[in-house]
Amino acid sequence: MNIVRLPLCSTRRLFPIGISYFTQLGSYKTLTKATTNEKKSHSNNLDNENIQVNSLPPRKTLKNLREKRKYEFALENILYNEMSHAEQVSHMNAINYFREGDSKFISSVVKFDPLSELKAPAVAFNGRSNVGKSSLINAVLDSDNLVKTSGKPGHTRTLNFFKITGKYKVERDLQFVDMPGIQTSIKTNICKCYKSRLKKIYLLIDTNVGELKKTDIAFLQVTEDYNVPVQIVLTKADKRHITLEKIKQNVLDQALEITPKNMLGEVLSTSSKSIHGINQLRLDILKTCFK
């Protein structure tokens, strides 16, 4: 067997502290094996009820729907363990209502007729273009593509109606209205029918924008004219953790200049990617519609 010896200068260039190539190679293999075991450990951790936040793998590394669902359950287990018993019951009821229920698209209309379109208690979602409205509704309904998403501004141009039929505890129907967010006449018509079956409108604000724009303010003025309860929901909150509370307060202060406090709920923060705040929103929807 021929042994090739590297010149001393070359060896020092490769390994300044003088460790041999084979030692380095062994360390690399050990490191690679440890990394692989760590990934397997992360995967197994998704099934562990006593999981900690810092032991969760990055969500973007999860490749299939099953892993993502397991991730969500793990994350919810962490929050669940910090709740009181009453909160735990409400929390699990909300999870099961939306996960076990049947969600489906009903219709898409340009002209809104509350008598023909709203057959059950309903909540509506409104927001500026690319605020993440469709993604948020999908997350709440535990669906990947029930509501069509698009990166193009103004993708939603009609009123879209969805229904979920509960199969767990609350065996009742609930409707979602996906608003186009651009036509004042439609907003006015929806607000007029508030006292029939529409219980609340959720106004979505992009966390990265961090404030109410003119269109948001105009919409709040319409809801104020018809005494419609509104709740502001921050979307894409996974991108701005540090200043989140400041953004919440800023948006709330703006809204209170237009809408009375008793018509505004607390400002919720959500992320359709990390599911941050999704179940809190689900709870609010159930309490609003079935109280």
User: How many Å apart are CA 253 and CA 270, to the nearest integer?
Assistant: 19
Cα four-point dihedral sign 80, 64, 206, 166 = negative
Q: Which of 198, 168, 202, 167 is nearest to 284 (CA)?
A: 202
Q: Does the pLDDT of residue 106 top 50, yes or no?
A: yes
Q: Is 256 helix (H, G, I), strand (E, B) or coil?
A: helix
Q: What is the mean pLDDT of the segment spanning 120-139?
A: 91
161 backbone dihedrals φ, ψ, rounded to 5°: -115, 135
Give the residue carrying structure tokens 């032991």.
55
pLDDT tens readout for residues 35-64: 344 444 444 444 444 444 455 555 556 666
Q: Does the pLDDT of residue 186 top 70, yes or no?
A: no
CATH class of 101-290: alpha beta
Structure confidence at residue 13 as a pLDDT band (50, 70, 90)? very low
pLDDT of residue 33: 43
Return residue ranges of the chain for CATH 3.40.50.300.
101-290
Q: How far is CA 162 from the centre of its chain?
A: 18
With a pLDDT cut of 70, the percent of the chain lying above it is 59
Q: Specify whether the CB–CB gap between 163 and 152 falls below 8 A.
A: no
Q: How far is CA 91 from the centre of its chain?
A: 16
Q: Does the pLDDT of residue 147 top 80, yes or no?
A: yes
Q: Does the pLDDT of residue 105 top 80, yes or no?
A: yes
User: How many Å apart are CA 87 and CA 94, to the nearest integer?
Assistant: 11
Identify how many contiguous H helices and E strands the chain contains and give both numbers: 10, 7
Q: What is the mean pLDDT of the segment spanning 60-75?
A: 60
Cβ partners under 8 Å of residue 141, min gap 6: 98, 103, 147, 162, 164, 176
pLDDT of residue 204: 96
pLDDT tens readout for residues 199-229: 999 999 999 999 999 999 988 988 888 888 9
